[in-house]
Amino acid sequence: MRKEPAGDGIELGGTFRVGLEFSKDVFITCAVTGSGDTVGRTPHIPVTPKEIAAAAIEAAKAGAAVAHIHVREADGAPSRRLELYREVVERIRESDTDVVINLTAGMGGDLVLGGVDRPLPPMDRGTDMAGCEERLEHVAALLPEICTLDCGTMNFGLGDYIMTNTTSMLRAMGRRMTELGVRPEIEAFDTGHLWFARQLAEEGVIEDPVLVQLCMGIGWGAPDDLTTFMAMVHNVPRGWTFSAFSIGRNALAYPAAAVLAGGNIRVGLEDCIWLGKNQPATNGALVERAATIATTMGARIQTPAQVREKLKLKKR
């Protein structure tokens, strides 16, 4: 019999976080390329497997403990082809630079409806709907330490596009990740996604230690104002580990917000392509800026080995 979602609220001082809980030990994740339409807007977006692997290594040398990885076709289009992931992962593992590998599993849930008057059938162009095993093919083959689990469905961008992740699909993907010994990183774009993540944990679909990424400022999820951000933080149960980021103009302010709120940091060209006005960023420069912000605030930057120990990750 399926358990009903818990209806509990925020238990002040108990299960959930309250107020600012400054992080003394912080790890940095670098999202090196993403799947957005950024190719051509800056020369620094890595596209080929060689470039993406080099970007992950560059980020690690700059202080990132975790590299979050998408892959792209030669023309820059987002992809989920296994052979592209394989080349990226092999290049990183064969390098002399240590970094925790975090592969996206968000691809394969793209639904583009046919329009307001005739939504069905969906448009062939842009729709990419795949089953659990297909969405996790690269994870099962390459066994990264972490892979992402986008914990909800939402209007993502403009027009008729929907990022689709049903509760059945999320349960199946979460179970499969757990079976593979790969730590899911819960991608939470709104508070309801955290609510369902708690449900997955209660059902034993995902195991401790639970890892969460708070994704702020992405239309049409949680806006990146501090009131909403703290509402998201307050819905992360104590004992869970979280990171946070925002896209666009507030991206470089969010390392400070994340540290103040008790979390960890994510930066990278997936989220922001500028280091300052008329200053195109690189992944390494974004990591260096984030590390400077955190250490100036009094935090210590964690190494990949420390992150593996904290999150009980299996290095392949």
- What's residue 283's pLDDT? 97
The one-letter code for the residue type at 45 is: I
Averaged pLDDT for residues 90-116: 94
Averaged pLDDT for residues 259-277: 95
- What's residue 38's pLDDT? 86
Residue 104 has pLDDT above 70, yes or no: yes
Distance CA 164, CA 170 (A): 10
- What's residue 19's pLDDT? 60
Distance CA 154, CA 135 (A): 18
Q: What is the mean pLDDT of the chain?
A: 92
Q: Where are the beta strands (DSSP E) in 95-217?
A: 100-103, 109-112, 128-129, 146-150, 154-155, 161-163, 183-188, 211-216
Residue pLDDT, tens place only, 81-97: 999 999 999 999 999 99
- What's residue 156's pLDDT? 84
Q: Please calculate the CA angle 146-59-186 and round it to the nearest 5 degrees.
A: 25
| Residue 68 main-chain phi, psi, to 5 deg | -95, 125
Residue 186 has pLDDT above 70, yes or no: yes
Task: List 109's β-bridge partners, or say none.
Answer: 129
249 versus 55: which is more confidently predicted? 55
Residue pLDDT, tens place only, 1-53: 444 444 444 443 456 665 668 889 999 999 999 988 888 888 999 999 999 99
Domain ranges of the chain: 25-311
Tokens found for residue 15: 């299960």
Averaged pLDDT for residues 239-247: 96
**CATH number of the 25-311 domain:** 3.20.20.70
- What's residue 17's pLDDT? 64
Residue pLDDT, tens place only, 145-174: 999 999 999 998 779 999 999 999 999 999
- What's residue 3's pLDDT? 46
Overall residue count recorded for the chain in this entry: 316
Residue pLDDT, tens place only, 283-305: 999 999 999 999 999 999 999 99
